[in-house]
Amino acid sequence: MRGPQGPLVQRQQRLGLRPGLLATAGRYGYHRDELYFLRAGRELAFGYVDQPPLTPLLARVATVLFGDSLVGLRVASAIAAALVVVCAGLLAREFGGGRGAQLLAAAATGTSSYLLAVGHLLSTTTFDVLAWSLVSWLAVRALRDGGATWLLVGLAAGIGLQNKVLPAFLVGALLIGVLVAGPREVLRTPWPWLGGLLALLIWTPFLVWEARHGWPMLQLSSAIADGSSGTSASRWILVPYQLVIVSPLFVPIWGIGLWRLARDPALRRWRAFAVAWILLLVLFVATGGKPYYMVGLYPLLLAAGAGPVVDWAARGAQRVRRGVLVAAVALAAAVSALLFLPLMPATALPGSPIAAIDYDAGEQIGWPGFAATLARAADTLPPAERATAVVLTANYGEAGAVDHYGPALGLPPAYSGHNSYGEWGPPPASATVAIVVGYRPGVLSRWCGSVEPVARIDNGIGLDNDEQGAPVVVCRDLTASWAQLWPQIRRIG
């Protein structure tokens, strides 16, 4: 590879991001979302209740290529994270940064909390960050060069929209940014509009699926705003969250980048990005979006700020300033890795700051034991009931765990009303007994004439995650058929 990109890629590889993520990928276990993706990958469609089709498709591909391999499932995310790092370096070059600025932008991005947190899991957020990074890099080039580069922007946005709907907000905010801050002349050419049309065409199969199913993503957005997700937070947390989402030590870098995009004459052509950042912050606060929705813009902000920071380190007391810069990157890397990579033994998580800060760490613990508890509950049933029993779970992670671990334990099939599991249908009419997990007895009394508690979920290490202590009951004497009860059981959130 020639030119500045060659050293950049070589340095990125020396950071060890991709092998580092894969080296720790198998330390705990499947995340609840990954178990859901594995099942969704067996139910391939143009859309799902809570997401477009790309990530379940990647789960299906990983299963075909690697079989039942946790590390194999996460290869695509590690590659995506590595590409985000490359995009940061390329963006720094577009903003006039030399090799030092490119390396700093890549290093700050590669050691940031959010990228380590999502880069070692199969997560829609990982590919969303990559989509935003690619759209940002290509849009920077298109705003400078114009022409057919806008088609590449549309291609990247369209593929990103098959993973999450969030790139639509980025594109919309950038369009408003160009109208407000320029360069407006680019909108007088057909290329940006052709790029938008290409993105829309790629997105269309999912939009058709959504329309045919009553636009469930709108219900999901409302549920998230009301706090139904495990990663939901108060809308007012979103603003201060931006100070820690990369690393508090990198706030000066991306803060300078945001200022440069807003005020530096040398970056005037890209002022739309500063407008877009402000617009998106206001929008997500107003609509109750999740605090991490804007993470995809930080590789660009870090890239814009890296040049002045490197120039600062080269002036005056160079050794001291460079030492401070290197120490900041190293400290940020160490703290981010400790908090967001599965480095600590699982037994050390209960009561630790890691479990309190990183919600996803707890959601990777205890799933084999969860399935084993349900299997023991199933074994207590008389043979006649056991032959037709099913498992009903309160959420898709629990159902995914039964689907993944249950066959080897002889568990009955899993059903759930949660999100796309609800779309996949109720238990058969022949199932008059259900092993139910995760519901409060008061809720079950509306569906079951007889509720017999038989166990509680225990992950064995006392970690307070979403499943710890969940009741397991045997439900008999249904108050109506499963088909009649299903509208009550179904929920989106």
pLDDT in tens, 19-56: 567 888 888 999 999 999 999 999 999 999 999 999 99
pLDDT at residue 3 above 90? no
Rg of the chain over Cα atoms, rounded to whole angstroms, equals: 24
Closest CA to 56 of 67, 45, 66, 65: 45
DSSP state of 351: T
Residue 100 CB neighbour total at 10 angstroms: 18
Token pair belonging to 319: 């050794």
pLDDT in tens, 414-445: 999 999 999 999 999 999 999 999 998 788 98
Per-residue pLDDT band at 1 (split at 50, 70, 90): very low
In the prediction, which pLDDT does 229 show?
56
In the prediction, which pLDDT does 14 show?
41
In contact, 305 and 255? CB cutoff 8 Å: yes
In the prediction, which pLDDT does 230 show?
54
In the prediction, which pLDDT does 19 show?
55
In the prediction, which pLDDT does 233 show?
61
Q: Which residue reads 């959601």 in tokens? A: 363
In the prediction, which pLDDT does 20 show?
67
**Is 89 or 24 the better-scoring residue by pLDDT?**
89
Token pair belonging to 446: 């509306």
Cα–Cα distance list, 227 to 224, 289, 379, 444, 489 (Å): 5, 10, 37, 23, 19
DSSP state of 51: B
Q: What angle do CA 53, 56, 59 make, to 5 degrees?
A: 145
In the prediction, which pLDDT does 440 show?
84
pLDDT at residue 287 above 90? no
Residue 2 CB neighbour total at 10 angstroms: 5
- Percent helix / strand / coil, the chain, rounded to 5: 65, 5, 30
Q: Mark 76-87 as b/e (b = at least 16 C-beta within 10 Å).
A: bbbbbbbbbbbb
Share of the chain above pLDDT 90, in %: 83
**Is 440 or 71 the better-scoring residue by pLDDT?**
71
Per-position DSSP letters for 425-479, written without gaps between them: -PPPTT---EEEES--HHHHTTTEEEEEEEEE---SS----SSTT-EEEEEEEES
Cα–Cα distance list, 199 to 140, 157, 158, 192 (Å): 17, 6, 4, 11
pLDDT at residue 7 above 60? no
In contact, 473 and 444? CB cutoff 8 Å: yes
Amino acid of residue 421 = Y
| Mean pLDDT, residues 199-218 | 96
In the prediction, which pLDDT does 6 show?
43
Residue 154 CB neighbour total at 10 angstroms: 26
In contact, 297 and 277? CB cutoff 8 Å: yes
Token pair belonging to 356: 């309190």
What is the distance between the alpha carbons of residues 323 and 348, in angstroms, rounded to a whole number?
33
In the prediction, which pLDDT does 320 show?
87
In the prediction, which pLDDT does 11 show?
42
pLDDT in tens, 291-318: 899 999 999 999 999 999 999 988 877 8
**Count of helices and strands (H, E) across the chain:** 26, 5
Per-position DSSP letters for 141-195, written without gaps between them: HHHHH-TTHHHHHHHHHHHHHTT-SHHHHHHHHHHHHHHHHS-GGGGGSSHHHHH
Per-residue pLDDT band at 290 (split at 50, 70, 90): confident
* Average pLDDT of the residues of the chain: 91
pLDDT in tens, 223-247: 877 765 555 567 778 889 999 999 9
Q: Is the peptide bond before 240 cis (omega within 30 degrees of 0)?
A: no
Q: Which residue reads 């299963």 in tokens? A: 63
In contact, 237 and 284? CB cutoff 8 Å: no
pLDDT in tens, 166-198: 999 999 999 999 999 999 999 999 999 999 999
pLDDT in tens, 155-164: 999 999 999 9
